[in-house]
Amino acid sequence: MGGALCCCSEPINFDGEVDLYHFDLHRAVGKGAFGKVRVVEHKKTKKLYALKYIDKAKCIKQKAIANIIQERRLLEEIDHPYIVNLRYAFQDDENCFFVLDLMLGGDLRFHLERKGRLPEDAVRFWTAELSLGLEYLHKQRIIHRDMKPDNILLDAMGHAHITDFNVAIHYSERRLHTSVAGSMAYMAPEVVGRKGYSWWVDWWSLGVVVYELLFHRRPFDGRTSDKMTQAILKDPIKIPSSKGVSPEGQDALRGFLDRHYKTRLGCRDKELGIDDVRTHPWFASIDWDAMENKDMQPPFVPDMKKANFDVSHELDEFLMVEKPLTHSKRKANPDLEKMKPELRQLEEQFTVYDFSKNKRISYYPHNETIVAVGHSEEPTTVLQSATNTLLPTATIIERSQAGSPLPENEYSSGATPPPIPSTANHGSEE
């Protein structure tokens, strides 16, 4: 599918600000809460990227403006071999656009569903790559908060990359975070137990991902949020013995799924980084220097002759279920004073980014909470799903309570925490 070109044949100004006219639009390869992801080609460089576009009206309706701006800002700070990096950001009158590294190998949820269990050597390899990605994020003071197979994308070679920073935040050095965000089945005990948490929760979530990839099931079950919470807080970690995972792999799993975050694998000393992961016997075959340079050969290479994603995304536009994306000129000089506050906030804060011209900058610590316009700081109303059963892989976010101080003592499960809802409106975050 070629790009829909504008009827007027004005030359494209590649020296000016980046916009949709700089790209040819190709096929849709994914779908998010607020829009699609499609392959695009930069008309000048001929490079292929993934274009994630977000419908402003839907975004306002679901009160997700603050999240979109937060994601845009965080992505500007990040550049790493094992992360899906932002290359361009811009907007038109209807959509906000993220142009990201293209990953045509599919997400790990897709491969898990297609193959069932995945081979241990591939899971070990991806875990090592993702460990380097997490170490980098945490050094940038970023918690991802939504590590799950759906948010890990393979490139055509089979390397793993972390994506989707919609609920990611900067962590505070002074206080712990208390808001519930992420996907319930992957949440750490200190999140569901509302004990306050920081960067170490990503390592627990990585452990749940590793378990699921190795055994094609998750370590904690529960049809309701209460049952899931209790399972995460108290159930023993059962390693299926019949599935043939090496003793070293089982030991690494128990390390990641340690309920005491101070002894959890990856968390023992932030200053030392991930030395405890690198020296763990399960990773003895990993050449960490080569891996840091992306020079190791992945043991699992996606079949590029097949689509590694759900091809039905393209049909929606074909069957006119939804309006196809087209290049459209912006209204000249929008009057910010007359705009809806939310649209104005997007106009002012979802700024243009072009990796070939802009240096990556950090908004920390100047990026205090981005609060959705006109909304109080009270927690958002949370909706239980219609069937009252849990959607364990759906991302949820609830606004933070007052931050708790950094703890002196270790996490203990203590009293039963209040239940966590299974689905929620997107709120804003600390």
Exposure string for 129-144, b = 16+ CB within 10 A, e = fewer:
bbbbbbbbbbeebbbb
Strands (E), 266-374: 353-354
Main-chain dihedrals φ then ψ at residue 186, nearest 5 degrees: -110, 5
Is 160 strand, coil or helix? strand
Residue located via tokens 């108290």: 234
Residues annotated as catalytic (active site), given as ranges: 146
Instruction: List all residues 6 or more positions away from 14 whose beta carbon is below 8 Å from its beta carbon.
Output: 22, 43, 44
Name the binding residues for ATP.
52
Q: In whole angstroms, what is the distance from residue 105 CA to residue 86 CA?
A: 18
CA angle 367, 373, 377 (to 5 degrees): 75
Instruction: List all residues 6 or more positions away from 376 whose beta carbon is below 8 Å from its beta carbon.
Output: none
- DSSP sequence for 91-122: E-SSEEEEEE---TT-BHHHHHHHHSS--HHH
Is 25 strand, coil or helix? strand
If one counts every other C-beta atom within 10 angstroms of the C-beta of residue 329, the result is 13
Name the binding residues.
52
Residue located via tokens 């705009």: 339
If one counts every other C-beta atom within 10 angstroms of the C-beta of residue 79, the result is 14
